[in-house]
Structure 1
Amino acid sequence: MDALLSLLFSSEEEELYMLDRMAYLMFLMAACTFITLLFENVPYGRYATSKYGFPVNARFAWFVQELPALLLPLCLLLWTSSSKTSLLPNQLLIAMYFLHYVQRACIYPFLIRGGKPTPFASFALAFVFCCYNGFMQIRYLSHYAEYPAYWVTHPCFLIGSVLWFVGWFINVQSDHILRNLRKPGETGYKVPKGGMFEYVSGANFLGEITEWAGFALAGHSVHSAAFAIFTAVVLASRAVAHHKWYLAKFEDYPKSRKALIPFLF
């Protein structure tokens, strides 16, 4: 794989320059996505329509679209000169990334119960994003990121790591709650209860946003920041759409519950 990278980039300076440009492009993507989502919901689940392509089985879509975010980084670690992976801050940040995507690609899809098909366009875009972001995050952390020896005790790393863990826990717990809303044989939608769903409609989205915000704070790079901001833009839009849908669907929906941020928004 080093040979392939050497064909793509003439030097490490050129590759690092490209990784930085990829991060800045993701900021631009986040801005464009934010504007687009003001007028249209992300086309998946209850918002899916045929104009975004033929439907793809939910389990298959989640597994295949998330898998590159796991396999491509794994290839980078195993088959390239990962000169920074011996450093503790880099190891911990890489572990955070992999723990999320092992759960997301190898566990979550197989726990889905009767999920609605995903339009092909959404599936394809998610697949491309996972390739793009997986390469950017792990190539930077494994080969270029440099942190001072004291970084793992720095407040940014400590607070970021705690945020990451809290967000990861909320995300996994919220997915568990959503999966168990219906008893076997039941159909239709129900109001989620328990965990952070007592405070917000998009508890699972809040968890993932918190997770990557913590990762960005601990990682302290333009690459992790771009990922966190893009994630926040997409998932905040989903949370708002879900909140409006719940309010319209259920007359007794808790009026004190917010869309994404407890007590505020």
Structure 2
Amino acid sequence: AMEPAEVSRLHALAYLQCALGFLGSLLLRQAASSYGRYASPGAAFGVPARAAWALQELPSLAVPLWVCARTAAERLRRAPNRILLAMFLLHYAQRSLIFPFLIRGGKPMPLYTCVLAFTFCVYNGYLQSRYLSQYAVYADDWVTDPRFLVGFCLWLIGMLINIHSDHILRNLRKPGETGYKIPRGGLFEYVTAANYFGEVVEWCGYGLASWSIQGGAFALFTFCILLTRAQQHHRWYLEKFEDYPKFRKIIIPFLF
């Protein structure tokens, strides 16, 4: 009787995540993101950029490892579960252990923004890892199912786009330069938020490969939040640069 009760809780947490995605999107529209270029000079206590990114993303790596270490992670004996959890962990290993240390300069992040991101990463890290390690049931040949194969390819392509786009953004300024520039190259030729597009593709791929409410909820949450932030970036570029390419879409090439 214990098992179905927890499965129901994990499903409820996934539906709550969907609701939080829509709510977060609405709130971000009302009160725009307030870090990086949008931070007001006298903003509340700020966390240095590198430390903020490392700390806030780390729970998505640490919580799953803790969840799997403290229980007999029965389902992880199966290849599909192991691969799906590895996909999740690989992203967050890059985001928490590599990405922050590549940041050049970077404005401090408001403490509350960092705390919100940290809290989400605890929540989502627990949700994804608990479901995959204990309850997600896949046929042994799931890794050859078209949904898994297409999803895995999307996840990989999305992650590479995300990393490449971050690389372009980091290298916009030559050493000693300040100020903002229009990103060029890669998918920035087509969209304002190429790095966000990569992340949306990545988690939609993960959601498809996992074929679960939990994976789908994370993909939906990511899309809601990043779309809203991409719209803010797009407006900012159009206002700041008269020569900003008008044909560029917001987040999805050729569409939106």
TM-score by length of 1: 0.93
Q: Shift in Å at residue 67 of structure 1?
A: 0.7
Matched, 1:121 2:117: no
Cα distance in 2 for residues equivalent to 1:189 and 1:78? 45
Cα distance in 2 for residues equivalent to 1:95 and 1:105? 15
Contact 2:28 2:229 in 1 (8 A): no
Tell me the equivalent position of 1:38.
Answer: 29
Q: Shift in Å at residue 12 of structure 1?
A: 2.6
Cα distance in 2 for residues equivalent to 1:80 and 1:52? 42
Contact 1:52 1:121 in 2 (8 A): no
Matched, 1:225 2:196: no
Contact 2:165 2:187 in 1 (8 A): yes
Q: Which runs of 4+ in 1 moved over 4 A?
A: none
Q: Shift in Å at residue 34 of structure 1?
A: 2.3
Q: Shift in Å at residue 80 of structure 1?
A: 1.3
Tell me the equivalent position of 1:29.
Answer: 20
The unaligned stretches of length 5 or more in structure 2 are none
Q: Paired residue for 1:15, among 2, 6, 20?
A: 6
Q: Secondary structure of 2:30's match?
A: coil
TM-score by length of 2: 0.96
Cα distance in 2 for residues equivalent to 1:229 and 1:202? 17
Q: For 1:1-265, what aligned pairs fall within 5 Å after superposition? A: 11-49=2-40, 53-265=44-256
Structure 1 pair 201/93, CA: closer, same or farther in 2 (3 Å)? same
- Number of residues paired by the alignment? 256
Contact 2:85 2:129 in 1 (8 A): yes
Contact 1:52 1:120 in 2 (8 A): no
Q: Which moved more, 1:127-136 or 1:34-43?
A: 34-43
Query: Which amino acid in structure 1 is aligned with residue 141 of structure 2?
Result: Y
Q: Shift in Å at residue 50 of structure 1?
A: 7.0
Q: Shift in Å at residue 52 of structure 1?
A: 6.7
CA RMSD in angstroms, aligned pairs only: 1.4
Query: Which amino acid in structure 2 is aligned with residue 221 of structure 1?
Result: S
Cα distance in 1 for residues equivalent to 2:53 and 2:67? 22
Deviations 1:185-235 (A, max 9, x none): 111101111111111010000000000000000001111111111110111
What is the percent sequence identity of the aligned residues?
A: 53
Deviations 1:74-129 (A, max 9, x none): 11222211001111111110111011000000000011001111111100000000
Cα distance in 2 for residues equivalent to 1:133 and 1:73? 9
Cα distance in 1 for residues equivalent to 2:102 and 2:169? 11
